[in-house]
Amino acid sequence: MTEWRPGWWARAFRGAGSWVLSIREGRLRVCGIPQEVDADVIDVLGLAVDAGSGQLIVTLVHGTETVLNGLSRRAVREVAAAYHSELDERRHLAALLSKAEEQGETARLWWSRVQEVMNRPRWADQDTIAALEGSRPDVAAWLAADSDPRLSGLPKDKREDQREAVDACRTTDLSAWTVQRNEAFLEWEKNELADFFRTVEKSPLTEEQTRATVCFDNRVRVIAAAGSGKTSTMVARAGYAIQRGIAEPTEILALAFNKKAAGELSDRLVSRLGNDGAGVASSTFHAFGLRIIGEATDRKPSLPDDLTADNGIGRLARIVDVLRDQDQAFRRDWDLFRLVFGRQLPDLGGEADPEKSDRNTGTSGFGTLAGEIVKSQEEVMIANWLFLNGVRYQYERPYAYDVADAHHRQYQPDFYYPDIDVWHEHWALGLDGTPPPHFDGYAESMQWRRHTHVRYGTRLIETTSATIRDGSGFEHLEQELRRHGIQLKEDPYREAAGEPPISDQAMLALTRSFMSHAKGNRLTPDLLAERAGRTLRARLFTRLYGVVLAEWDSQLRAAGQIDFEDMLNLATDHVESGRWMSPYRLVMVDEMQDTSAARAALVRALMKTPGNYLYAVGDDWQSINRFAGSDLSVMTRFDNWFGTASTIWLDRTFRSPQSLCDVAGGFVMKNPNQISKNVRSSAPETDETVCAVSVRERSHYGSVVRQHLTTLDSELTEPATVLLLGRYSRSKDDVISALEARYANLTIEFNTVHASKGKEADYVVVLGLERNGFPSIVEDDALLQLAMAAPDSYPHAEERRLFYVALTRAKRSALLVTRAGRESAFLLELVGDRVVKIRSATGDDITPVVCPKCKKHTMRERKGRYGRFFGCTGYPTCKGTMKLAES
């Protein structure tokens, strides 16, 4: 019921009158009385019943009282219930209306902000758009109010004023609009600042360089191909930021990998931008970190001079010498690693490139300290361990009994110990006790060999791949040898006639590189030990590292000094804690691919201030400084480090011909972890831009290179430059005669490939494309992955990038120099891809046939029971064959 009136009895005998009370649609009305009531239920202060007379008293908010007689108690209860029900509903609707008004106003303000951002003459950056997207208002209540006939309290003109904004909140695709709007802005800027883009550098900026300049997202990653003009974009970026008022010159910081690069960038900024360029801060990371610490603490830290001189290798050598003299356990571990565990092992069942061959026997494999050639690197470890401990052995000596039959050739166990008449078999078995799946017939062969020893009563020691790798195999071997009567006599200085062990210098370089990565990623020795897991090689190395690190840090503390990694970490801490406030709005980083984890953390700290801009330029294909701590993931996983970023490609090169770009790019892109790009060349094409020449002996390098240069010189009519590149500086000795010769048109320079980064020449000669020389098997040690945040496990990943750098120094052509029968795996890969031919010194085509199975070795003609055929020179690791006709 929504209407009440006094009954006839009350009207007849109690003078109640003929009033009517109604409560509906949020209003309370009383008719039939001198002062009728028509009020919103919210304006009714209350309903009360006089206890004596039973009168209903209606009190309004302004104090007016209306007294109604003649209602029964039941009716009074009904009126009260109806009133409270309508009041609750009215309050609910009022709250909805208020929320609708609030949402409408919020939508209007949001839409106004969106239009302001989209209409201003500046790139709409990611953080601004993300903030708008994150603050997009909820308009559900407004939409409900707009469609609810009960909610007429919001004036129509106000609703229409908010409707556009509400619709925009619901339907606007900010991402798509931003892309479209920024593209339009880019075109507008091209016209508006045409003179700037044409004159800011010596040559007008290309389309992609202009885009890289104008795209002012908060984080921009520029992937610049070799010779694409990346420095031009950094200069233009700074000039554009100043001209458009995005940043003052003193609010721009340019960070470079080394002092030379920082100086060159500074000179370029000044020469192109004048006084504005002089105001830009150009610095190395190390100098900048020292500045932060000095300003944050009023005390600039001290760094040892020898860190700058040789990256601390000399200091490390002195520490190791002292530890070897004073700590017997350290000396034993160091020598054990150097002599036995120095070379990394391939995965169980994986194919490793043979390092040595015997021309007399035709066997190939791996050299030991004692001088034998064994078939696997695990056997090298066993042989070298036996040599270290003074145990006499014979490798693959024919078994004491003639056991050859129709299915088995004469048995040759892996090792024989003549002093105790004991044989030793080393099985390729994993942790589960099974051989690799592709080792066909291996289990049956094991069973036959074991049965042979049982049958003839000969004694056998057994080790497995899994136990040698985790170290328990050496413990077992030592116990067995002692049990059979051999006394071990450890002597790391025993004269070795065979393959030299890894040098102390190589171990020092590996340790220093490991330290750079571990400190940069703030990994303690305990954490590294956890990462090392079961592998004895990794456990042994991290144990050595922990001892070295403790002494390294102790010496620094005693002298009141810090190293580069600690300095960068400390600088980062000062920025993150707010003890040092950055004045920079735009931070530009050159050669981002060579940035270490510590450098990246410092850059990330600088970006914590809202409204700052990061501009990182680099090329992951040219990341070649892992030995100095660089972490490729900073470039390849940029978003993980710094947040969502825009990526711009500078894929047009002005240096190398397209054919050379295709060879080099196709080669480096074999690694799926590299960022894909399609390099396009504006350089003129020449004939055979990449070719190889082979000599019989390394001593012939000088004559063949000199012959090549003499031919070039005779064909040229104008001056040209030549870069002779070696994997190591010692390669210079191989071509000293070519360097000292005089040429009419050639200017010749020798560099290591690392030192050639940033250089270019008309012609390039890459020396030493030999097995185990390039790629180097020492520099690419997998142990470094223990200390890296996101290691690249692709084989020879760093060396592959280094070879790409070598090729792309050339403006016209590159010559690769190799040795017959010792061709580099990289060179054979190019030959197998049919993009490079190998010629002799006399110009004959001697391109070998690459094994179709392993693709890492060449094929050699052999004679078998069914006639002549081609077999892989990697046998027995690879058993690839071809018919003569197929070759």
Q: Is the peptide bond before 775 cis (omega within 30 degrees of 0)?
A: yes
Q: What is the fold of 3-71?
A: PH-domain like (2.30.29)
Per-residue pLDDT tens digits for 43-53 = 888 888 775 56
Instruction: Compute how many other C-beta atoms are within 10 angstroms of the C-beta atom of residue 743.
Output: 18
The model's confidence at residue 347, banded by pLDDT at 50, 70 and 90, is low
Decide: residue 121, CB within 10 A, 0-12 exposed, 13-18 middle, 19+ buried. Answer: exposed
| CATH number of 658-848, picked from 3.40.50.1360, 3.40.50.300, 3.90.180.10, 3.30.930.10 | 3.40.50.300
The model's confidence at residue 456, banded by pLDDT at 50, 70 and 90, is very high
Residue 182 pLDDT > 90: yes
Write 776-779 long-range contacts (CB < 8 A, 24+). 776/727, 777/343, 777/344, 778/502, 778/506, 778/510, 779/509, 779/627
Instruction: Compute how many other C-beta atoms are within 10 angstroms of the C-beta atom of residue 575.
Output: 23
Residue 589 pLDDT > 70: yes
390, 496 Cβ separation under 8 angstroms: no
| pLDDT value of residue 353 | 63
531, 365 Cβ separation under 8 angstroms: no
* 3 state DSSP class of 756: coil
* Cα–Cα distance, 349 to 323 (Å, whole number): 37
Instruction: Compute how many other C-beta atoms are within 10 angstroms of the C-beta atom of residue 708.
Output: 19
* 3 state DSSP class of 750: strand
Residue 28 pLDDT > 60: yes
Per-residue pLDDT tens digits for 602-654 = 999 999 988 899 999 999 999 988 877 788 899 999 999 999 999 999 998 88
28-to-88, 90, 591, 729, 848 alpha-carbon distances in Å: 14, 12, 78, 100, 104
Q: What percent of the chain has pLDDT over 70?
A: 94
Is the model's pTM score more than 0.85? no
Residue 713 pLDDT > 70: yes
Per-residue pLDDT tens digits for 252-300 = 999 998 888 899 999 999 999 999 999 999 999 999 999 999 999 999 8
| pLDDT value of residue 119 | 92
| pLDDT value of residue 330 | 92
Pairing state between β 364-367 and 859-864 = unpaired
For helices 658-668 and 825-832, what crossing angle results, to 10°? 120
423, 457 Cβ separation under 8 angstroms: no
* Cα–Cα distance, 477 to 483 (Å, whole number): 10
Q: Which residues of 830-845 are buried (b: 16+ CB within 10 A; e: fewer)?
A: bbbeebbebbeeeeee
* CATH of the domain spanning 194-301+565-653: 3.40.50.300
* 3 state DSSP class of 66: strand
Q: Which of 418, 403, 491 is nearest to 454 (CA)?
A: 403
Q: Looking at residues 165-185, what average pLDDT do you find?
A: 89
* 3 state DSSP class of 464: strand
| pLDDT value of residue 882 | 82
Q: Which of 266, 241, 244, 245 is nearest to 255 (CA)?
A: 266
